[in-house]
Every structure is written in structure tokens, then in C-alpha cells.
Structure 1
Amino acid sequence: MFLISDTLKKGLSTFDLKVLGIVLMLIDHVHQMFVPFGAPNWLDWFGRPVATLFFFVSVVGFTHTHSKKAYMLRLYISMVLMSLFTFLLSKIVGYEQVQLINNIFRDLFVGTLMMYAIDLFVEGKNTANLKKSFAGILLFILPALLSVFVLSALSNPLILQNPYGVLAITTLLPALLLAENSVMVLLIPLLYLARNNRKIQCLLIALVAAIYFFLGSTQWIMIFAIIPIMLYNGEKGKGMKYFFYVFYPAHIAILYLLSAFLYNR
């Protein structure tokens, strides 16, 4: 009770939101990896607010980073390495009962690309620089354009017969279609546009959750991300810059290998 009261007074830092997201994500991935053993579906519910929390944190991080280009480059490299990592892991282990499609880095990079596009457009508009404004628009719709390209490429028999061609496309391209959370990634630029108004940000999250609710998807549980987001105190908290970049692939590999080992005993 004291802990809850103290949290309400102090609020949650960026570090706290990341830790909360990691804990919920871990529970969600336990469900994913142990579905062949009959892991209950309600474990998946814990993971529904996770993407929203990380989307919000990415907006905060991108807004306050000293180098937005370095921030984007770090996410892009992580996206590529994660894609290669899961591909190689699944090929080596050969555990077909669990499909490794995990790559939150792609979602975050696509969202960051759109945030950068918004900045570019606004800068061009404020300086009457049409080239920058046009570049901003083009960059913003690039993930959608790449999605069209991916659909076209992956429907080509010649490319489908070449596993390395498919791997290159699904690894290197920040296409919205390939994002783990699909069109939900569009929530990132929306949260960025409303970055100076927490209530509007939470309203946007609630609206997206309502859409999922009426579609009959459990993703509506993302609405509970509003609680920690409203408690966010604007402070960075403890340093945790590279921990998530290591923890994310590590915990997926450990859970996947453990599940494969137990299944094949």
C-alpha cells in the first residue's frame, strides 16, 4: 500500500516505464514460446499494453535525444541484426512449433522514421523550404510505399525461390507491412504530434484501443498503458540505454531454446 502511495506521489520515470514494459513483455513471450505446452491464453493479455508503452517511451527518447540521426541508426542496426538473429536461430534449432516473428526494433524504427519526417516537414514549412517539406512527406509515406514493394516482390515466384532475396527484403526494409504490430505503429507519430499534451496522447491510445475492442481483438487491453503513462513524471531515472537492446534478443533466445529443448526431450 505504501509502495502504491509513494508511486502516485513521485510518479514513474522513463526507466520505470521501460522496466514495466520488459516485465509484461517477458510474460507475453513466455506464453508465445510455451503455447505447444498449453500455456493459457490469458498470459498473452499481459503483453497487450507493452507496445504502447514502448511507443510512448520512443517518443520521449526521440524528443530528448542529442542526436536524432544516431538514435535512428541505432534502431535500424538493431532491426537488421534482430531479423538475422531470429532467422538463424530458427534455422539452426528447427523448432517449427514456435514461429519467431519478434522484432520490436522494426516497429520503433518505422515510428522514428515518421517522427523524423514530421520534423523535416515542419522545418521546411517554417523556413519556406519546399524541398524539405516534400522530403518530409515522402519520408513519412516511405514505410507504406515499401509495403507495396514487399507485397509485389514476395508475390514474384523468382524472388520466392531465392531464400536470400526474401531474407534481404524482410531484413533490410522498414516496411509497415513487416512491422510486428502492423498499422498500430502509426500510433507513434500520432503520439509525437501530441507530445506536449499527455491527455490527448492518452485519448489517442483509448481511441485505438476502442477500435481493437470493436474488432474483437484482445489488443484493446492496451488501454491499460494509459495508467503508467499518466503517472509519467518526465524524469529519465536510472540509465538503461543499452540494456533493452541486449535483453530483448537474449530473453527471446533463452525462452525459445528452453521450449525447443523441453519439446524434443
Structure 2
Amino acid sequence: MTRDTIKYIAIFTMLLNHIANVLLPENTILWEVFIDIGYFTAITMCYFLVEGFYYTHSRRKYGERLLIFAGISQVPYMMAFDFSQLNMIFTLFICFMILVIQDKMIASKWRVPLTIILLVLSIYSDWAILAPVFTLWFHAGWGNRKKMVQAYGIGAVLFAAFNYASYAETLPAAQALFHAIFSAAGIVVSGIIIICFYNGEKSEKAPKFSKWFFYIFYPAHLLILSLIKMWIV
């Protein structure tokens, strides 16, 4: 699979997750299936963020694109979800800045404190803490297949544990465990696809279209979903 193919899969799974969050009644089977399928997206985007950090022609322009589209996406994000937190592209920008710190401040005494500050800032954004932690793991294991497998494995267990704690507040232990394990399936599938089937190449067809489509789709689909929600209500 090419990079763009996997990204299109991630976009589709994200769309299902957002349709569930914005339009579907909570705690239905379809709602939960769409929600859990969508968990494929965030960790996949963290992986490609790290890859992009290593391979981009201009890290500065890469960071600027993330920040610009994070700003563009914020109002549609708040309209769609009624959240006051920052959207996922802001989270990816925070992750990007964490990578900059790891790369530019290897021997600096400020590397760890600044990284912690950014981790704390991520609390106010989508996929708080988890996305930056995934990014750090991918950065630490980059180029090492075994470490990537470990990163995905630990990520899936951490996410399942996080969700188990949430489910256990309202469900019996066995049922909470089932839901928690199922919620981590998207992360496991992401790991299998990237580690086993990703060929490390981008698509040869319309690469510029794909590049900008990924940025534009995020605010566009949030705006459309929010308008549909307003129309239904």
C-alpha cells in the first residue's frame, strides 16, 4: 500500500467516527462501531507526521501548514462537536513541535521540560496526551521494525486501558473489558497495515492533489457535518 492509500483509509475511518459523534444517537451498536473504527486515524496520522518530519523538504513549511489549517479548522470543529478544546490538527502541530525539540535540543537541559510543557498543553486538544506520546514512541523507534511493533503494541494496550477505566464507571467489568479491547482494534489494524503492508512510497497519481486534499478535507467535512446537525435539529 502507498502512503496516500493508507491516508485515504484514515480519512474514511475518521469520517465514520465524526458522523457517529455528530449525527448518531449515542450508545447504539452503529454508533460504537463507527466510533471504534475511527480510532484507526489518530495513531496513523501520528506515524505519518513523524515520517513527514524526516522526509519533508522544508520542516518550516510543514509546521506552517499544520498551524494554518489548525486555525482554519477550529471554528468548524467547535460547531460540529460543541467542544471548546483544540482540534486534531492543533494536536498534530503540538506533536510536530515536540519532534522539533527532540531533533534540535538533544543535549539541551531544556529538552525534557519543554517536551513536558507541550504534553500538558495537549490536554486542551483532541487526543490529549495520547497523540504526543504515540509521536514520541514512533520518533524513538524510527527505522527499527521491532521498536515500531512495540510502539503499536504498547499504544493499543494503553488506549484499551484508558477506555476500560472510562467504561468501568458505568458497565460491569467483563463488559467494560470487551468494549475496551474492541476500541483498540483500530490501533492494532493501523499497526498491521503500516508495518506489514506499507511500501514506503507515495502515490504516483496526482500527488499534489492528495497532499492538499488531506488538509482541506478536515475543516470541510466538519463544516458540512455541523450544517447537517443544525438542519436536523
User: Structure 1-normalised TM-score?
Assistant: 0.71
Q: Which amino acid aligns with 1:247?
A: F
| Aligned mates of 1:110, 1:198 — CA distance in 2 | 25
**1:119–1:136 contact (8 Å) kept in structure 2:** no
Counterpart residue number, 2:151: 204
Shift of 1:189: 1.7
| Aligned mates of 2:63, 2:113 — CA distance in 1 | 17
Once the two structures are superposed, the pairs formed by residues 35-50 of structure 1 within 5 Å of their partners are: 35-36=24-25, 40-50=31-41
| Aligned mates of 2:117, 2:160 — CA distance in 1 | 29
Counterpart residue number, 2:176: none
Could you give the per-residue CA deviations for residues 37-92 of structure 1, whole angstroms, max 9, x where no partner exists? Answer: 865322111101110111111111111001112211211222223224434x46xx
Shift of 1:235: 0.7
**2:76–2:223 contact (8 Å) kept in structure 1:** no
**2:2–2:198 contact (8 Å) kept in structure 1:** yes
1:255 corresponds to 2:221: no
Which of 120, 129, 134 is the matching residue for 2:109?
Answer: 134
1:188 corresponds to 2:152: no
Once the two structures are superposed, the pairs formed by residues 84-99 of structure 1 within 5 Å of their partners are: 84-87=75-78, 89=79, 98-99=81-82
| Aligned mates of 1:226, 1:69 — CA distance in 2 | 28
Stretch of structure 1 that moved more, 241-250 or 75-84: 75-84
Gaps of 5+ in 1: 1-11, 91-97, 126-132, 148-174
Answer with 1 or 2: which has the greater Rg: 1
**1:120–1:135 contact (8 Å) kept in structure 2:** no
- RMSD (CA atoms): 2.2
| Aligned mates of 2:146, 2:6 — CA distance in 1 | 17
**2:76–2:222 contact (8 Å) kept in structure 1:** no
Count of residue pairs brought into register by the alignment: 206
Q: Which amino acid aligns with 1:229?
A: I
| Aligned mates of 2:140, 2:9 — CA distance in 1 | 24
| Aligned mates of 1:252, 1:199 — CA distance in 2 | 37
Shift of 1:191: 0.2
Counterpart residue number, 1:228: 193
Shift of 1:213: 2.4
| Aligned mates of 2:57, 2:6 — CA distance in 1 | 21
Counterpart residue number, 1:116: 100
User: Structure 2-normalised TM-score?
Assistant: 0.79
Shift of 1:248: 0.6
Gaps of 5+ in 2: 165-179
**2:153–2:188 contact (8 Å) kept in structure 1:** yes
**1:121–1:137 contact (8 Å) kept in structure 2:** no
